[in-house]
Amino acid sequence: MSFLGIDLGTGSLKAAIVDEEGREQAVSSVAYTLDTPHPGWAEIDVRIWWRALVDALAQLPRELRDGVRAIGFSGQMHGVVLVDAAGDAVRPALLWPDSRALDLLDAWPEPQPNPVAPGMAGPLLRWILRHEPQSARRTRWALQPKDWLRVALGGACVTDASDACATALASAAGVWDDALLARLAIPREWFAPLAPSYAAAGRLSPRAAQALGLRAGIVLATGAADTPCAALGSGLADDGDALLTTGSGGQIVVLANDEPAALRGLHCYRAASDHWYRMAAMQNVGIALERVRGWLSYEWADAYREAFGDPNYSAAGGAPVCASNLTFLPYLTGERTPWLNPQARGGWLGLSLEHTRGAMMRAAFEGVAFSLRAGLDAIRASGASVTALKLAGGGSVDARWRELLADALEVELYALDCPNAAPRGAAILGGVACGHWQTRDLAALAPGATRVAGSSGDAALAGRYARFVELYGCVVPWFGGAPQRSGQK
């Protein structure tokens, strides 16, 4: 007996099969690219998602597919898929990187339970109603990406609170805001009923089963958004459990039993379980380091060596000469938490003739670590005490980088034995939906984690972080934004 998790991501679809103990047995991935028919747009034909799913399932061993008892779903957040009464897509899906609705955010005056971005379903649907009335007339349902996939497999037309609360059209608890929908003139009937992420929501249709090489009638879970699925797959199950993921961007997620306080720049959403979570979302982690590496003409091995010195680097004394008085702001694409400033930009300040490429690279690593610290400080300001973080993501493997992160964040870091957390979390939801597990079993399904770094209490590094924050406040007028941090009213 096994369970299949499907993660419908922005740039790829992943499928993972876990056994009855929650251990990963096989995983596959198929990449795809977004369409940008106009500057600032981000769309995709849903048929590309379907082909990716078929190809991903074909990569999984037949004997494991034969044992699948339930399917769970994880999906990228915020975007929207418009479908007609027959379930066919009215137009390409609109996705979270889309900025076409940037000028339509005035309908969400402060304060809001969560930050509102142009790539969320609410602003995107406002744009559709204004600019594509023909699409609006054909629309029966406005679905989240993972919900579209479940419906395509024969499942019920429902959604869960973890996705609903991130649309800018629901309360912080994930309940559709009828008054807001009426004020925006967005049809209330477009929005699917709510169900728990771990509830059964239909069964696999014969047509879909044949296409995927699975048995018809398999239970389909409602599923959840990708961040809460990754949190579940990473073993976050109790109040205060925390996760740091580093990829192109970075997220710090902290689970909470009750609704956290809403603070500017900080996301407070529903989890895939019956919890809440705080989330700090930082846009410039791997994307900034990769761009700096290219600017400085480094291979990654040389970038680490010259930025950190000896492989047995200690953050307290391993910095290259002259790096300590050099500061790098990593905001190459603006920033979400804690600044909420899409106009923010980056660069070095403090350069002198004595600085080397290694010093500039080291300053970039520190700047990214400080950006993550600013996000974590926002979470701490909301009342969460975070002293340890589970660590996931492809951008957090080097031991020297991990040690710098632990020092900058003032935490202990634990590397997860779980490289595919989101599809694993989705598979676990499938197991709960079919009755194999109960929600009380989730904590016992946590993957292994190994302590890989801890804070050394580096006072010099703490001073450079204070300089970093001060520098951002000084240069904000250049960008046209306001120097206001999360935690400030």
Res. 320 pLDDT band, cuts 50 70 90? low
pLDDT recorded at residue 343: 85
Cβ contacts of 400 within 8 Å, gap of 6 or more: 304, 308, 311, 313, 318
6, 72 contact by CB (below 8 A): yes
Q: What percent of the chain has pLDDT over 90?
A: 74
For residue 140, what pLDDT band results from cuts at 50, 70 and 90?
A: very high
Distance of alpha carbon 176 from alpha carbon 169, whole angstroms: 6
53, two tokens: 């799913």
Separation between Cα atoms, residue 483 and residue 472, nearest integer Å? 8
Domain boundaries for CATH 3.30.420.40 within the chain:
2-227, 236-417+458-489
Phi, psi (5° rounding) for residue 126?
A: -60, -40
Strand bridging mode 224-225 / 68-75: parallel
Q: How far is CA 57 from CA 48, 285, 373, 477, 483, in A?
A: 14, 31, 39, 51, 48
Ordered DSSP codes for 356-394:
-HHHHHHHHHHHHHHHHHHHHHHHHHTT----EEEEEST
pLDDT digits (tens, 9 = 90+) for 224-272: 999 899 999 999 988 999 999 888 888 999 999 988 877 777 889 999 9
483 pLDDT exceeds 60?
A: no
Give CA separation, 72 vs 17, 191, 431, in Å.
10, 21, 8
| 32 and 14 Cβ atoms separated by less than 8 Å | no
Q: How many Cα neighbours within 13 Å face the side chain of 180?
A: 18
Residue-wise pLDDT for 175-213, tens only, equals 999 999 999 999 999 999 999 999 999 999 999 999 999
Which superfamily is assigned to 2-227 in CATH? ATPase, nucleotide binding domain (3.30.420.40)
> What's the pLDDT score for residue 351?
93
Tell the burial category of 367 from Cβ atoms under 10 Å away from its Cβ (0-12, 13-18, 19+): buried
pLDDT tens string 54-90: 999 999 999 999 999 999 999 999 999 999 999 999 9
Identify the three-state secondary structure at position 31: strand
pLDDT on residue 394: 64
The 10s digit of each residue's pLDDT in 288-318 is 999 999 999 999 999 999 999 855 444 444 5
What does the pLDDT read at residue 205? Answer: 98
- Give the chain's mean pLDDT: 91
CATH fit for domain 236-417+458-489, picks 3.30.300.30, 3.40.50.970, 3.30.420.40, 1.10.1300.10: 3.30.420.40
Residue 188 to residue 176: CA distance in whole angstroms: 9
Reported confidence tier of residue 486, pLDDT bands at 50, 70, 90: very low
β partners of residue 200: 221
User: At residue 27, does pLDDT exceed 90?
Assistant: yes
The per-residue pLDDT for 397 is 81
Per-residue pLDDT, averaged over 390-416, amounts to: 89
